[in-house]
Amino acid sequence: ARAIVMDPKLLFFDEPSAGLDPVVSAELDELILKLRDAMRMTIVVVTHELDSAFKIADKITVLDQGKVLMTGSVAEVKASPSERIQDLLNRRPRELEVDVDEYLQRLTGRDSG
């Protein structure tokens, strides 16, 4: 409430639905949209909750390891030909080559043999 009492034109949210159950998260999304429309403000939301981002965003910027991969509409992001963006959207892990012995040594400080 204190953030909007001065009628700002720009409001930032950092992970607003972190730790909330899905129902409360959806209610918060609705509240954010109502705030945006009622107060005619620009709202910037940082979130890992893709369902929320797709619901409330006009534009989405996709970040990966501190780099901007793309900015576009929800439809543009979902249709991106970028393999990395599709991996992020679909929660596909990267294929990592792991040397098990080297990794175990780093974790424990000793050889596996």
- Output the six-digit token pair for 74: 């929800």
Shared domain for 18 and 51, answered yes or no, is yes
Q: How, if at all, do strands 67-72 and 60-64 pair?
A: antiparallel
Shared domain for 52 and 62, answered yes or no, is no
Whichever domain contains 27, its CATH number is 3.40.50.300
The parent domain of residue 28 ranges over 1-57
Shared domain for 94 and 67, answered yes or no, is yes
Is the whole model's pTM more than 0.85, yes or no? no
* Residue 61 near residue 71 (C-beta atoms within 8 A): yes
Shared domain for 14 and 53, answered yes or no, is yes
Shared domain for 82 and 53, answered yes or no, is no
Indicate the number of domains in the chain. Answer: 2
pLDDT at 84: 96
CA distance 74 to 53: 8
Shared domain for 47 and 74, answered yes or no, is no
30-78 pLDDT tens trace? 999 999 999 999 999 999 999 999 999 999 999 999 999 999 999 999 9
Q: Is the pLDDT of residue 12 over 70?
A: yes
User: Which of 28-32, 37-41, 82-86, 97-101 bottoms out in mean pLDDT, i.e. has the lowest?
Assistant: 97-101
